[in-house]
Each structure stands twice: as C-alpha cells, then as structure tokens.
Amino acid sequence: MIGPPMDSTIEHVNAWMGALAFALGMLAFWAIGWRRGLRMPVEAGDDPGTKFTDASMAILGLLLAFTFSMSLGRHDQRRAAVVADSNAIGDFYTCATLLKEPSRSKLQAVIKEYARHRLDTGRELPTDAEEEKALKRCQEMHGRMTEIVGAALAEEKQTPIAVPLTNTLNTLTSSNASRFAAYRERLPWSIVGLLLLGSIVPTFLLGQQQGVSRRLNPIKTVGFIFLVTLVIYVTLDLNQPGRGLITVNQQPLEQLLETM
C-alpha cells in the first residue's frame, strides 16, 4: 500500500473532479452565507466582520501557496528521479559492453528489458496492486542482473571492469528505490482537507458580508472562485505523476532506449 486508505483514494481521483468539488463547495457555502446575511440587520458604518473576511482570505492565500509549493516540490523530485534512473541504467549498460560474450549480450538484454519496463510504469498511474507487481518485477530483474554479473566476474578474474560494474549495478538498484519513493510522495489527505476548509470558510464569510450589505457582486465572486479553483486544479494535477495535463517527462528513458 502507498499510504493510508484516504490518501490512496484521493490520489486516484482525477484532478479536474477534485477541483470541481472544491468549486461546488465554495459556491454552495457562498450561497449559504448570502442567505444568512440577508436575515441579518444592515450594519451602519464600518462592519467589523469584514476584518474576519480579510483575515480568512489571507489564510486561504497562504494555504494555496503552501500546498502548491508542496506539490511542485514533489513533481521536481519525480522528474529528477527519472533523470537519475536513466543515468544509472545508461552507466550500467556502458559497463556491460566491456564484458566478454556471452555475458555481454545476456546482461545488455536484461538491462534493455529493465529500461523498457521502467519507461512503461512511468507513463501511467497504476493501482496499488499494479505498483507492487511492478516493484517485484524490478527486483526480479535486479536478481537476474546480479547473477549474470557474478558469473561474468567469476570467469574474468582480476578484471579491471569488476569495480565499476559492481558500483553501477548498486547505483541502478538504489536509483530504482529512490524513484519509487519519490513516486509515492503525495499530498496527505489531511492537507487536502485543510485546503478545502480554508476555501469554503472565506467564501461563506464573503457571501454573508454581501448579504448583510445587500450588495451582490456575482462577477467578482465567480472570478474569485474560478481563480482559487484553477490554483487547486494545478496543485492536484501536480500530485498525480501519471496522468493529467502536467506529467513527469519520460524523455531521458526514451532517448536511452533509442541508443541501446
């Protein structure tokens, strides 16, 4: 499992569906606030309640910036992990070319199969069961690589390629673990829930303030909700590495496979 059940549920919901839920929630609470404000007496002079509305808007801005920064940081980690994984596979493949036949062909075939598998798993968002299956397949290919390297080094005693070949194999397995760890880093459900609460409270207070003043500003209200929803959509989209408009670029692995 990637994380708690709630985290697993949230990360498999499309970003546009999540953003739509946020928008509907904000509209609904704005309407509730507007109706409540109409039942309240008109305030004479400055309304002290506007200070709470302004404060809630400021908190919402901080929450949007905080969650967007978290999602963007995790996206950058996944992108760097793909580059590191591609470099590790390429270095190991280069060292394998220095082995004698038939070990060279056997090892290069497994490395190419491994690179193809890493590319395929990075292009889509698998379920928890599919991810565990992909991880086990990687571990199985790591075992095959280790066996081939061990047999090749046993035949070629005191060969100068032994140290770099072993080091690049270790780097390959480590980069695989790092990439899976970066892939599993998502926004916790508690942060998403806090963002939802921070979005609906300001819109409720805004609607109540407009109701008390008897001044409806539909264009400004819809524009505000639209901008907040847009930021939330991008934040949620960055949190889904395998789908959506913003995905992790797999070009390093694609270029590597073309050179093999």
* pLDDT tens sequence across 40-79: 776 655 555 567 778 888 888 899 999 999 999 988 998 9
Q: Check: pTM over 0.75? Answer yes or no.
A: yes
Q: Where are the domains of the chain?
A: 5-259
Rounded to an integer, the average pLDDT of 122-143 is 78
pLDDT above 50 for 127: yes
Tokens of 83: 């580059």
C-alpha of 171 from chain center = 24
- What local confidence, expressed as pLDDT, does residue 1 receive? 40
Of residues 225, 235, 236, 221, the one with CA closest to residue 24: 225
pLDDT above 80 for 150: yes
pLDDT range class, residue 90, cuts 50, 70, 90: very high
Q: CA-CA distances (angstroms) from residue 115 to 132, 143, 162, 217, 220?
A: 18, 15, 22, 56, 51
Rounded to an integer, the average pLDDT of 93-110 is 89
